[in-house]
Structures are given as structure tokens and as C-alpha cells.
């Protein structure tokens, strides 16, 4: 049966590229306003290009555009597929922004960069700039990711390594970011403090990007103890469209049998669930706990191929020996 390709409306396509443009602006703005003027480096390809800029004086967009172009070529050859127009658009736009932003004084002045080095407030600049820059950079990257875009760089490196080695992209990002930030120590005019402030930027970025991308996907498990369990379960199922599981229970003090209700839901749905339960039974006892992950219908999908059992491997080994 031939596959049916979904048509993307022009309105959605325009919205995607508009939001990607905003994301790229925030991404490049955070570096030019808060990171580069402070003299520190973060992770990723931009961090690597920043270190090269400090060492050679060659502008960041020259390294950024050249390396990304090479990675796109290598990635296409190795992975055997394109990266999509959104990724190419993001890379080109980022290169342009990195080229024109250094000439804008208002961008430089906005990041506490006008504080004189001898001022008592100068130390505040090295602490505040990495945090604000990390948050803004994360907001831009998250916006790009949410519209299925990418800024290239270490994203492509992670995909290439993941194809040949059983190393998750997250570990690739962690290792590369650690090495890139630490590499600034190789420059003669840099110190350990520059590495520390670089890690502050990286931590702020990682925390914020996870909060934006996965914050809405965090789940909770709600356990409900109520003598009106049937009415509560019906209300949650039919009025709030939530799945409910009922388990047999016994109150050890009263020796009364009943049902304990279990509901798994998104974190932002918790308020509606608790209000619904209290609306039916004000005396209900509710226990709420965060869950690390939820897989199944309506939640995350289990990725990757299932591992073959050890029994099947033994059978194949015995078959090979007999042959």
C-alpha cells in the first residue's frame, strides 16, 4: 500500500519558520550579549567557535558556517539522508546573525558589559551573564527543537557517533561540552574562573532546555482513598476523560473493604483531578507522587528494538556448533 503523505498547510509552515527565526535570534543574541563579551565559553559548536575566536581573532560566523557546512556534507554521506530545510535554514540564519550582531552596540550594552573591571559590581557580571545567557539560549534552542529544527553542530556529530557506537546523543553532548568548556584553559590569558563560569552557563542552559522541552510531559501518579470510590472513578472517567484503575483494599483499622483508585496523568492535569475528587468526596485522601517515566497510550513511546532473549542466543550458538 503506498504511503500517504500528509500535506502541511502554508499557515503552519509560515508559523514554523517564524518561530524558528525567533528561536535563532534568542540563541545568537544570548551568545553575543551575555557570553562572548564576558570572555567565557559554553558547549556545542558555538562554544568551540568562541574558543577559536579568542585564540585567533577570526569572527565566530566564519568558523560556525564553515564547520557546519562540512558537518552537513559528512552527515549526508554517512547517514545517507538530508537534514531538512529547517535545519539548513537555522544554520544559515544563525551564521548571518552571528555576523551582524557584534556591530550592534545595544546588544553589547544590555548584558552588564559596561561595568568597569575595577568596579565592585564587576564580579556580578561574571555570575549573572552566564545564567541569563544560558536561560535565553535554552529558550531559543527549545523553540527551534519544538518546530522540528536544529542548529547543526554537535547535533550532527551525535547522530554520526550514535550510528556506529551504542552511545546516546545525550552522552555525546555531555562529553563534548565538558571538553569544549575546559579547552579555554589552553589559551594563555584564560583562567580556571573562566572554565567555572562556562560551566555555570552550560548548567543553566541544560536545566532550562529540559524544563521547557519536558516540563509539560512530566507525569504524576495519583492514589485516591475514598468511600465513594465508584462515584469518583465515574466522574474522572466520564467527566474528565481520565483512565482509572481500581485495586481491592482493606482499611486495617476499620476492617472495611473498598477500592483504591490509581490515576496516572500529566502534571498540569493534577489540579483538575484533585478538584474533581474533592467535588465528589471532600473527605477523600489523595496521595501524589512524581514518576520518572510513563510509557503507553497517551504518554511516551518505548524507543529502540527489543533485545533478543538469552535463550534465543544460546539456541543460535548451539545451532552454529552443530553445523
Lowest mean pLDDT among 55-64, 202-211, 227-236, 274-283: 202-211
In the prediction, which pLDDT does 5 show? 45
Percentage with pLDDT > 90 across the chain: 34
Is there a single domain that holds both residue 235 and residue 209? Answer: no
Contact indicator for 36, 49 with CB cutoff of 8 Å: no
Is there a single domain that holds both residue 209 and residue 226? Answer: no
In the prediction, which pLDDT does 30 show? 93
In the prediction, which pLDDT does 4 show? 43
Q: How confident is residue 2, by pLDDT bands cut at 50, 70 and 90?
A: very low
Percentage with pLDDT > 70 across the chain: 83
Total domains present in the chain:
2
Predicted structure pTM score: 0.68
Compute CA distances 100 → 133, 219, 320, whole Å. 18, 43, 64
Q: Of 166, 183, 216, which marks where a domain is finished?
A: 216
Is there a single domain that holds both residue 251 and residue 262? Answer: yes
**Is 70 exceeded by the pLDDT of residue 310?**
no
Q: Give the mean model confidence (pLDDT) for residues 183-188.
A: 90
**H-only helix segments in 101-188:** 105-109, 122-146, 154-164, 169-182
Lowest mean pLDDT among 120-134, 156-170, 213-227, 260-274: 156-170
Long-range contacts at 9-18 (CB < 8 A, ≥ 24 apart): 16/86, 16/147, 16/148, 16/149, 17/86, 17/89, 17/147
Is there a single domain that holds both residue 203 and residue 249? Answer: no
Mean per-residue pLDDT over the chain, rounded? 82
How many residues appear in the chain?
Answer: 323
Q: Give the mean model confidence (pLDDT) for residues 221-247.
A: 91
In the prediction, which pLDDT does 75 show? 76
**Is 70 exceeded by the pLDDT of residue 83?**
no
**Is 90 exceeded by the pLDDT of residue 261?**
yes
Q: Hey, what's the torsion of the CAs at 132, 157, 18, 215, to 10 degrees?
A: -60
Structural domain range at position 235: 218-291
Is there a single domain that holds both residue 146 and residue 197? Answer: yes
Side-chain half-sphere CA neighbours of 294 within 13 A: 17
Q: What angle do CA 108, 111, 116 make, to 5 degrees?
A: 85
CA 200 to chain centre: 17
In the prediction, which pLDDT does 21 show? 95
Q: Give the mean model confidence (pLDDT) for residues 277-302.
A: 81
Task: Name which residue leads in pLDDT, 239 or 316.
Answer: 239
Task: Name which residue leads in pLDDT, 11 or 317.
Answer: 11
How confident is the model over 188-223, as pLDDT tens digits?
Answer: 888 888 899 899 998 888 888 877 776 666 788 999
Q: Of 216, 247, 269, which marks where a domain is finished?
A: 216
Q: At what angle do helices 85-100 and 60-79 cross, to 10 degrees?
A: 170
How confident is the model over 203-212, as pLDDT tens digits?
Answer: 888 888 877 7
Q: How confident is residue 322, by pLDDT bands cut at 50, 70 and 90?
A: low
Is there a single domain that holds both residue 169 and residue 234? Answer: no
Cell of 104: 550592534
**Is 60 exceeded by the pLDDT of residue 317?**
no
Q: Give the mean model confidence (pLDDT) for residues 83-89.
A: 80
Is there a single domain that holds both residue 229 and residue 143? Answer: no
Q: Of 183, 216, 249, which marks where a domain is finished?
A: 216
Contact indicator for 73, 63 with CB cutoff of 8 Å: no
Report the CATH number at residue 238.
3.30.70.120
Residue 274 domain flag? yes
CA 100 to chain centre: 28
Is there a single domain that holds both residue 99 and residue 164? Answer: yes
CA distance 54 to 28: 17
Contact indicator for 169, 162 with CB cutoff of 8 Å: yes
Is there a single domain that holds both residue 267 and residue 152? Answer: no
**Is 50 exceeded by the pLDDT of residue 251?**
yes
In the prediction, which pLDDT does 278 show? 92
Q: How confident is residue 254, by pLDDT bands cut at 50, 70 and 90?
A: confident
Amino acid at each position: 500500500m503506498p504511503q500517504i503523505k500528509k500535506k502541511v498547510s502554508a499557515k503552519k509552515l509560515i508559523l514554523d519558520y517564524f518561530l524558528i527565526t525567533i528561536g535563532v535570534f534568542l540563541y545568537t543574541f544570548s551568545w553575543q550579549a551575555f557570553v562572548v563579551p564576558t570572555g567565557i565559553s559554553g558547549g556545542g559548536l558555538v562554544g568551540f567557535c568562541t574558543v577559536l575566536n579568542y585564540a585567533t581573532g577570526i569572527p565566530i560566523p566564519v568558523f560556525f558556517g564553515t564547520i557546519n557546512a562540512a558537518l552537513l556534507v559528512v552527515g549526508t554521506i554517512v547517514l545517507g539522508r538530508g537534514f531538512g530545510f529547517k535545519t539548513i535554514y537555522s544554520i544559515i540564519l544563525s551564521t548571518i546573525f552571528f555576523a551582524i550582531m557584534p556591530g550592534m552596540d545595544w546588544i553589547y550594552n544590555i548584558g552588564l558589559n559596561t561595568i568597569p573591571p575595577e568596579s565592585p559590581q564587576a564580579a556580578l557580571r561574571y555570575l549573572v551573564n552566564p545564567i541569563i545567557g544560558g536561560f535565553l539560549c535554552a529558550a531559543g534552542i527549545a523553540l527551534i527543537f519544538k518546530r522540528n529544527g536544529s542548529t547543526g553542530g554537535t547535533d550532527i556529530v551525535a547522530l554520526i557517533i550514535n550510528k556506529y557506537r551504542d552511545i546516546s546523543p545525550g552522552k555525546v553532548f555531555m562529553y563534548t561540552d565538558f571538553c569544549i568548556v575546559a579547552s579555554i584553559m589552553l589559551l594563555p590569558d584564560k583562567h580556571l574562573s573562566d572554565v567555572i563560569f562556562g560551566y555555570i552557563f552550560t548548567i543553566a542552559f541544560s536545566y532550562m532546555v529540559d524544563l521547557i522541552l519536558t516540563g509539560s510531559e512530566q507525569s504524576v501518579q495519583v492514589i485516591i482513598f475514598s468511600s465513594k470510590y465508584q462515584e469518583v472513578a465515574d466522574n474522572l472517567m466520564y467527566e474528565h476523560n481520565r483512565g482509572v484503575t481500581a485495586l481491592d483494599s482493606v482499611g486495617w483499622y476499620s476492617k472495611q473493604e473498598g477500592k483504591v483508585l490509581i490515576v496516572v496523568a500529566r502534571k498540569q492535569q493534577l489540579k483538575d483531578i484533585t478538584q474533581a475528587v474533592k467535588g465528589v468526596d471532600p473527605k477523600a485522601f489523595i496521595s501524589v507522587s512524581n514518576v520518572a517515566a510513563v510509557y503507553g497510550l497517551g504518554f511516551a513511546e518505548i524507543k529502540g528494538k527489543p533485545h533478543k532473549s538469552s535463550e534465543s542466543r544460546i539456541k543460535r550458538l548451539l545451532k552454529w556448533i552443530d553445523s
